[in-house]
Every structure is written in structure tokens, then in C-alpha cells.
């Protein structure tokens, strides 16, 4: 029986399977454990089931020398030092596929919301500032038939592309070696799906934003760090971009006085791409399967790339 630390309670029944075989310690705070607390709790753990809110870095690995497996409850791994884990023989697992459709649904919801002012319109009705129907009131941009640039067309990007077919959209897939600026010049909708790496950090910055159409909308369901938020705010304020809808920001949450939040035509959600009952329960299944395999010394069924 090995010691496993799980850094948040998980939906679904997966943790019961882990508890049946191992000594499981579940952090039950309302907020993620502070790094020092995480290090203290992880001492002696052989398995660690982490969230995107936990940093798996050298300090944590030093504090948990018996660690054999980290199962990140996410498809992204930017919170985990993968190189260091590999060097120390710690296997790292992720939760791919099971959150693809939920995240693509949300990306599409954000595309529609940003193009058609859904949230601002609702707030105007609720706040009493909407006075009457007007021929030129609340004009947005067509999504049907628009050109969609998928930046980082992986599993989730392809799922968004499938939805875009139903809207007769032209889809531009922009991978690492493609001309980002040329795609941005053509796109009516820009949807980000790349992982956060040294190469993609601030990919959508001042230079990239100089190439977008003033009628375009930007949607980010990937990672906040892919966008330069200062440059995004300037583009929105100066009307160089029609709108942005972000499920992810840096940091999370944004402090209420963060200048970005005062930008026009901006919608920000609390990182809910995978937040459906089904997706989160299936993510727990995959994370537990990764921990069980790692503790058994078997290859992880869902290893990080």
C-alpha cells in the first residue's frame, strides 16, 4: 500500500478505487494548498494527483523523494516540470480525450458570445440600461460563413473545426510551422488551442495583434499565458479587435482591479472548459488509472507527451 496525495476532492467515484488499494490523503481546503503546505503534505508520498493550480517543480520533487508518479488532472502540463520529472524517474500522466468535446463546446459558446455580445446584452437587460429595439443596436458579426483560425489545431481544435462545419465556416489550421500573421489577417474568429510552452508564451502579443482584422474576435480556451494581456487590452480599447472571450487568464483569477477587466467587449470565464459532470468524472477515472499504473510500475495508460 503506497501513500498518495490528492490535492483536491474529485467528482465521481474514481477516488474510491484508489482508496481500496492505497493510503489516500485528500487535501480538503476550499483553495489549493499553498506551495509550502503542498511540500509538507507530499513528503513520503509515492503518488501525487495534482491540479492545474499546483506547481510540480524542483522544490516539490525535493520534498517528496519517494515520488514515482504524478497524475495531472488536466490535459495541459504547463504546471509540471516535465524535464525534471523525467530526469528523476517520476512518470507523469494526463487526462486527454475525455475533455475534448466539453472544451470545444465551450470554445464555440465563446465564439458566439463574443461575436454577438451575448453577455453584455444580458447585463444591459438586467441592469435596465436597454431602452428599446434599434435598427443599429447591439450589432455583432456573423459566425455563419466566417473564417475561423485555429491556432494549435490538436484534438480540441479539431473538435471545434467539426462544430464549425455546421456553421459553414472556412477553417484555417495554424500549426507551429505555419504563417500565423497571414492567418490572422484572414480570420474573422481566432480560437487558441496550443499548449503553453516557451514557444507559445505571449504568442498573441502586440506584433500578432497588429495583423488581426478590427472585426475579428479572439477566443482563448488554452492557457492565459499564450496571450499578452497588456497588448490585448490595448487592441480592444483602440478598436483594433472587435471582442475577446477568455476562459483562461494569467493569473487565475485576475484580480478585480486588473486593467484587462476594464477593456471593452471582453468576456472572461473562470477556466471552465472541461467543467461538465461527465468530463470531470472521466478525468478522475484517467488520473486514477495513471496513479495505479505508476504505483504498480506499469507504463501509464495516459502519459504526458
Q: Which CB atom, from 75 or from 269, has the smaller least distance to ligand DGY?
A: 75
CA distance 89 to 185: 45
Q: Which stretch, 36-44, 73-81, 115-123, 207-215, contacts ligand DGY (CB under 6 A)?
A: 73-81
Nearest-approach distance from CB 284 to ligand DGY, in angstroms: 11
Nearest-approach distance from CB 52 to ligand DGY, in angstroms: 5
Q: Is 274 in the site for ligand DGY (CB under 6 A)?
A: yes
Q: Are 265 and 242 in contact (CB under 8 A)?
A: yes
State which H helix or E strand residue 170 sits in: strand 170-174
Q: Is 76 in the site for ligand DGY (CB under 6 A)?
A: yes
Nearest-approach distance from CB 250 to ligand DGY, in angstroms: 13
Copy the grid coordinates of residue 171. 477553417
Q: Are 12 and 285 in contact (CB under 8 A)?
A: yes
Copy the grid coordinates of residue 18. 484508489
The mark string for 90-129 relative to ligand DGY (x by CB under 6 A, - otherwise) is ---------x------------------------------
Q: Which CB atom, from 217 or from 304, has the smaller least distance to ligand DGY?
A: 304
By rule CB under 6 A, what count of residues binds ligand DGY?
Answer: 7
Q: Which stretch, 20-28, 69-77, 151-159, 230-238, contacts ligand DGY (CB under 6 A)?
A: 69-77
Cα dihedral sign for 78, 81, 86, 89?
A: negative
Q: Is 284 in the site for ligand DGY (CB under 6 A)?
A: no
Query: Which one-letter DSSP state was computed for residue 96?
Result: -
Among 71, 74, 80, 260, binds ligand DGY (CB under 6 A): 74
Query: Which one-letter DSSP state was computed for residue 299?
Result: P
Establish whether the linkage from the previous residue to 278 is cis, with ω within 30° of 0: no
Nearest-approach distance from CB 103 to ligand DGY, in angstroms: 7
Among 75, 91, 92, 208, binds ligand DGY (CB under 6 A): 75
Establish whether the linkage from the previous residue to 30 is cis, with ω within 30° of 0: no
Q: Which CB atom, from 76 or from 121, has the smaller least distance to ligand DGY?
A: 76
Copy the grid coordinates of residue 164. 464549425
Residues 6+ apart with CB under 8 A from 215: 141, 188, 242
CA distance 74 to 143: 29
Q: Is 52 in the site for ligand DGY (CB under 6 A)?
A: yes
Catalytic residue among 68, 233, 271, 282: 271
Q: Is 269 in the site for ligand DGY (CB under 6 A)?
A: no
Among 273, 284, 293, 294, binds ligand DGY (CB under 6 A): 273
CA distance 140 to 24: 51
Catalytic residue among 8, 116, 193, 223: 223
Q: Strand, coil or helix: what is 38?
A: helix
With cell 488551442, the residue in question is 193
Cross-strand partners of 246: 220, 268
Annotation marks residue 271 as catalytic: yes
Positions marked active-site: 223, 252, 271
The residues binding ligand DGY (CB under 6 A) are 52, 74-76, 99, 273-274
Amino acid at each position: 500500500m503506497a501513500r498518495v496525495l490528492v490535492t483536491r476532492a474529485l467528482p465521481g467515484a474514481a477516488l474510491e478505487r484508489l482508496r481500496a488499494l492505497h493510503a489516500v490523503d485528500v487535501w480538503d481546503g476550499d483553495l489549493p494548498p499553498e506551495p509550502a503546505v503542498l511540500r509538507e503534505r507530499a513528503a513520503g508520498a509515492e503518488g501525487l494527483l495534482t491540479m492545474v493550480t499546483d506547481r510540480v517543480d524542483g522544490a516539490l520533487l525535493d520534498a517528496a523523494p519517494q515520488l514515482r508518479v504524478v497524475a495531472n488532472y488536466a490535459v495541459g502540463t504547463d504546471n509540471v516540470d516535465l524535464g525534471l520529472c523525467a530526469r528523476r524517474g517520476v512518470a507523469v500522466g494526463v487526462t486527454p480525450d475525455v475533455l475534448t468535446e466539453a472544451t470545444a463546446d465551450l470554445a464555440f459558446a465563446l465564439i458566439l458570445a463574443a461575436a454577438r455580445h451575448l453577455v453584455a446584452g444580458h447585463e444591459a437587460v438586467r441592469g435596465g440600461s436597454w431602452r428599446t429595439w434599434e435598427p443599429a443596436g447591439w450589432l455583432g458579426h456573423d459566425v455563419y460563413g466566417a473564417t475561423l483560425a485555429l491556432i494549435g489545431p490538436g484534438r480540441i481544435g479539431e473538435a471545434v473545426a467539426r462544430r464549425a462545419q455546421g456553421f459553414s465556416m472556412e477553417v484555417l489550421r495554424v500549426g507551429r510551422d505555419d504563417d500565423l500573421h497571414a492567418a490572422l489577417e484572414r480570420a474573422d474568429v481566432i480560437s487558441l488551442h496550443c499548449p503553453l510552452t516557451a514557444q507559445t508564451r505571449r504568442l498573441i502579443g502586440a506584433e500578432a495583434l497588429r495583423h488581426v482584422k478590427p472585426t475579428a474576435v479572439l477566443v482563448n480556451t488554452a492557457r492565459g499565458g499564450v496571450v499578452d494581456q497588456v497588448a490585448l487590452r490595448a487592441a480592444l480599447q483602440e478598436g483594433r479587435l472587435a471582442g475577446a472571450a477568455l476562459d483562461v487568464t494569467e493569473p487565475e483569477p485576475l484580480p478585480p482591479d486588473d486593467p484587462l477587466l476594464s477593456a471593452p467587449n471582453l468576456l472572461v470565464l473562470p477556466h471552465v472548459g472541461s467543467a461538465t459532470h461527465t468530463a470531470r468524472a472521466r478525468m478522475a477515472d484517467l488520473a486514477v488509472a495513471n496513479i495505479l499504473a505508476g504505483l504498480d510500475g506499469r507504463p501509464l495508460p495516459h502519459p504526458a507527451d
